[in-house]
Structure 1
Amino acid sequence: MVPQPAAPAPSPAITGYEPPPAPSAPPEVPAPAVEAQFKDGRYLGWGYCRHGDIQASVVVEAGRITSATIARCLTRYSCSWIDALPGQVVSRQSPEVDYVSGATESTDAFHDAVAEALSKAK
């Protein structure tokens, strides 16, 4: 009969070793309260250029600009050139808007009108 190889000896257990505890999730820290940038309400402001005047209306709710419009357009040219600017005011939460080629002065007047309106909301 052919001798069978012996079974391997069990490896000795390490005594006194405990695996590290599973990492716990860091405690949730509430986001810092952000002070409202503006007071709620509807505010009007005027901007002026050599082509005429523009009045902007800005609505603030919960401290954020929720609406901006060209309330009055008293320029020689149609304010349709700057129709996209009120949306930029809302999305940027700022009077800072992109210049419109061919309507640079109207853009400046609208910016100034919004800035004046927001100065009343501080």
Structure 2
Amino acid sequence: MKQWTTRKIGAVILSVACLIPLVGCSAESGTASGYKDGSYEGISPNGIHGEIAVAVAITGGKITDIKVTSHGETEGIGSLAVEQLPGKIIEAQSTEVDGVSGASVSSAAIKEAVNDALTKAK
């Protein structure tokens, strides 16, 4: 009987040890959750025609608004990314979203600028 109890205790300890790395993980991992509330500016020098600047609002630890405050993107091409991408990022609570078709450089620069702002919000 003593050996059975030792095995049981060993199994419990092993189970707990396996669960320890999972502590702190959640469904929100990789999202905006945990950012400090406020408004943060971000910049990317990699727009198709130079710098793209954004203002990102965080409320309740989540991205609630993104405004592209300045850009030199081509009207009808890069400007589509300026119009569409902020909404996609807010909806996903992440910059890990698809770029706008035909505006990959502009999309990448907007994501880079948003990531710059989010870095400041940590």
Query: 1:1-122 residue pairs with structure 2 within 5 A?
Result: 36-49=33-46, 50-75=48-73, 77-78=74-75, 79-82=78-81, 83-122=83-122
Contact 2:84/2:100 (<8 A) preserved = no
CA apart distance, 1:42: 0.2
TM-score, normalised to structure 2, is 0.65
Amino acid at match of 1:38: Y
CA apart distance, 1:97: 2.6
Contact 1:56/1:71 (<8 A) preserved = yes
Partner of residue 16, structure 2:
none
RMSD between aligned alpha carbons? 1.9
Amino acid at match of 2:43: W
Q: Would you say how many aligned residue pairs link Structure 1 and Structure 2?
A: 88
The percent identity for this pair of structures is 39
In structure 1, the gaps of 5 or more residues are 1-31
TM-score, normalised to structure 1, is 0.65
* Structure 1 residue matching 2:72: 3-state secondary structure: strand
In structure 2, the gaps of 5 or more residues are 1-25
Q: Which moved more, 1:41-50 or 1:53-62?
A: 41-50
Q: Deviations over 1:22-48 (max 9, x none)?
A: xxxxxxxxxx9x8x4200000010112
CA apart distance, 1:53: 1.4
Moved over 6 A (4+): none
Q: Deviations over 1:64-103 (max 9, x none)?
A: 111111111133x134221110001111111223122221
